[in-house]
Amino acid sequence: MPTAPSLPVKGSLTLAYTVSMAVAVAAVIASAAGLLYPSAVYPTPDLLRAFRPNDVANLVVGMPALLGSMGLARRSALVGLLLWPGALFYVLYNYLIPLFCLPLNMAFLLELSLVTFSVYTIIGLVGRIDATLVKHRLAGAVRERIGGGVLAGAGVLIFARVIGVLVSAIVNRTGVSSTDLATDVADFLMSPALIVGGVQLWRRKAQGYVTGLGLLFLVSLLFVGLVVFMVARPLTTGERLVLSQALVITVMGLIFLVPFGLFLRGAVVDRHLSEPDEDALCPSEKN
Digit-by-digit pLDDT tens for the chain (287 residues) are: 334 458 899 988 999 999 999 999 999 999 999 999 988 888 888 888 889 999 999 999 999 999 999 999 999 999 999 999 999 999 999 999 988 888 888 888 999 999 999 999 999 999 999 999 999 999 988 989 999 999 999 999 999 999 998 888 888 877 777 888 889 899 999 999 999 999 999 999 999 999 999 999 999 999 999 989 988 888 887 777 777 777 778 787 788 888 999 899 988 875 544 444 444 344 444 44
What amino acid is encoded at 10 in this protein? Answer: K
3-class secondary structure for the chain? CCCCCCCCECCCCHHHHHHHHHHHHHHHHHHHHHHHCHHHHCCCHHHHHHHHHHHHHHHHHHHHHHHHHHHHHHCCCHHHHHHHHHHHHHHHHHHHHHHCCCCCCHHHHHHHHHHHHHHHHHHHHHHHECHHHHHHHHCCCCCHHHHHHHHHHHHHHHHHHHHHHHHHHHHHCCCCCHHHHHHHHHHHHHHHHHHHHHHHHHCCCHHHHHHHHHHHHHHHHHHHHHHHHHHHHHHHHCCCCCHHHHHHHHHHHHHHHHHHHHHHHHHHHCCCCCCCCHHHCCHHHHC
Strand partners, 9: 129
pLDDT at site 270? 58
Q: What is the CA radius of gyration of the chain?
A: 20
pLDDT at site 281? 44
Mind listing the pLDDT tens digit for each residue in 26-53?
A: 999 999 999 999 888 888 888 888 899 9
Residue 1 lies inside a defined structural domain of this protein: no
Quote the number of domains for the chain: 1
pLDDT at site 178? 81
Residue 2 lies inside a defined structural domain of this protein: no
pLDDT at site 2? 38
pLDDT at site 286? 45
Residue 4 lies inside a defined structural domain of this protein: no
Model-level pTM?
Answer: 0.88
- Domain hosting 224: range is 14-286
What amino acid is encoded at 271 in this protein? Answer: R
Residue 6 lies inside a defined structural domain of this protein: no
Residue 70 lies inside a defined structural domain of this protein: yes
| Phi-psi domain of 144 (left: phi exceeds 0; alpha: psi -120 through 50; beta: other) | alpha
Residue 100 lies inside a defined structural domain of this protein: yes
pLDDT at site 36? 93
Task: Give the integer Cα–Cα distance in Å for 250 and 222.
Answer: 11
Task: Give the integer Cα–Cα distance in Å for 74 and 17.
Answer: 9
Residue 5 lies inside a defined structural domain of this protein: no
Residue 7 lies inside a defined structural domain of this protein: no
Task: Give the integer Cα–Cα distance in Å for 201 and 151.
Answer: 9
